[in-house]
A and B are shown apart, each in its own frame.
Chain A
Amino acid sequence: MSDIMVDIQHLSFSRGERLIYDDMCMQVRRGKVTAIMGPSGIGKTTLLRLIGGQLKPDSGQILFDGQNIPTLSRAELYQARKKMSMLFQSGALFTEMSVFDNVAFPIREHTRLPESLIKLIVLMKLESVGLRGARDLMPAELSGGMARRAALARAIALDPELILYDEPFAGQDPISMGVIVRLIKELNNALGLTSVVVSHDVTEVMSIADYVYLVAEKKVIGHGTPEQLRQHKSELVQQFLLGEADGAVPFHFKAEPYEDELMEPAR
């Protein structure tokens, strides 16, 4: 079994006219938490969808456990997806089902286990995210943080090998943020998962990630362990990590020189 779970080679992807990734390479090691960071709007979520096979790249390889995702047939792709799961930013819980049924959904769809056993599994998964008591609530009754934890319980219901987290910290209060940070780390270690976290919350990510890729301007601009990244020489990397308003990424949107525009006679 190879040490690398997801191997992205020379990936190019464009949406319409706009090039999103240009010849990008990236590797996710088995059993580790790999983080992908970068400014908003550079297509971090797109990357997860590419790994999940929901989008097809223009060129390049995405190897998941040795299989090249873009070339798989539909049936093979569905088989591969049983080994991965994705935690969506919104949680994507099914609104017409209770929390219990949401977590039970993938189990009921893919196995023929008796209800008594399904109940056991679901309760174990809910216990691990601390929501065993909330099993009869509907998604509409959950707070944002709880919804995300319930979705996490559903994501690990079938014991996947890989979990893709899409902005798990976005829009969370400090407490639920702390809870989710802990959960990602604990689940990764306890269940022997491989995790890919896409986020732009620098402190949280740096605290749990084993390896970080910083993506900007269509490619990886820096990668390494959090420690290596803090020592990185690139100005752009430093600006992003420290959250400075001005620097390699300018504060001002591209415009005419300020003086010229102000001094221009009124038309």
Chain B
Amino acid sequence: MTVKIKPAKGSPYARILGVGGYRPQQVVPNEEILKHIDSSDEWIRSRSGIATRHWAGPDETVTEMTLSAAGKAIADAGLTADQIDAVVISTVSHFKQTPSVATEIAHRLGAGKAAAFDISAACAGFGYGLTIAKGLVVEGSARHVLVVGVERLSDLTDLTDRSTAFLFGDGAGAVVVGPSDEPHIGPTVWGSEGDKADAITQTVPWDDYRDSTVEKFPAIRQEGQTVFRWAVFEMAKVAQQALEAAGITADDLDVFIPHQANMRIIDSMVKTLKLPEHVAVARDVEFTGNTSAASIPLAMERMLATGQAKSGDTALVIGFGAGLVYAAAVVTLP
């Protein structure tokens, strides 16, 4: 017998209510990287714009970094942990796959029996998580959703690979998404291009270790030119589509927060998108390196903390990375 099923009662719209970040204590300058590769500070800066990155110490685990960032985001939202109904964590560098990080976070935060799960969407992880969170809030399965991007990419860095040794950093960035009477998160333009899976990959799959002689821990390897071309020119189109989907133009933007992969990508995207001068552009990569899923919320937090952006500003966020995957949306800053 087919019966009429009562749907959940969601909010008409959703918004980002708060943001928080955690950067590990150890700041690693380019000089430290140069102990392992034949390069120079000038070369690294000219190719990437990166001057420093943060590396996590033994106690700065994925879990601990997440707890710190999440606590700040919940406080920034004016909430307490018991008001969080769902925890969504994006990471590619948590090496214990079962159970998920999210369940431990929900428990230790004091979020009761919040739904909790991890997602794997690399550097697009924040946008993927944000989209899931918005859906949960609007559909009604959750009222407040914690979304965290967290990485310890130093664990997946080959310090002898002169094309990637300087790129990656560690950290966590979190937001809380909750109900709103007005739309403050625009439509997500997202997708995947699995035909370009080789452009950014983990060098060795974990199961190769089971009974083989593989000795070197895996690292992230990428085809620099392929990624650069895709990130700048294809992602500029995606960014443009996200603006159009939200019914605005670049002139209406206050802030642009692209994934902090590389300053050259950011600069070229800004040029390709012809962003007006008044748009503040996130350039946290200089200080934090590429922290994959954590980079957008970390950059958002820094811009709000330093006054480069303010609450209520209209921002375009776009993440892109291994998969290849991407996600872009216009949001109102918390």
- Do A and B pair up? The answer is no
Chain B residues engaging chain A, CB cutoff 8 angstroms? none
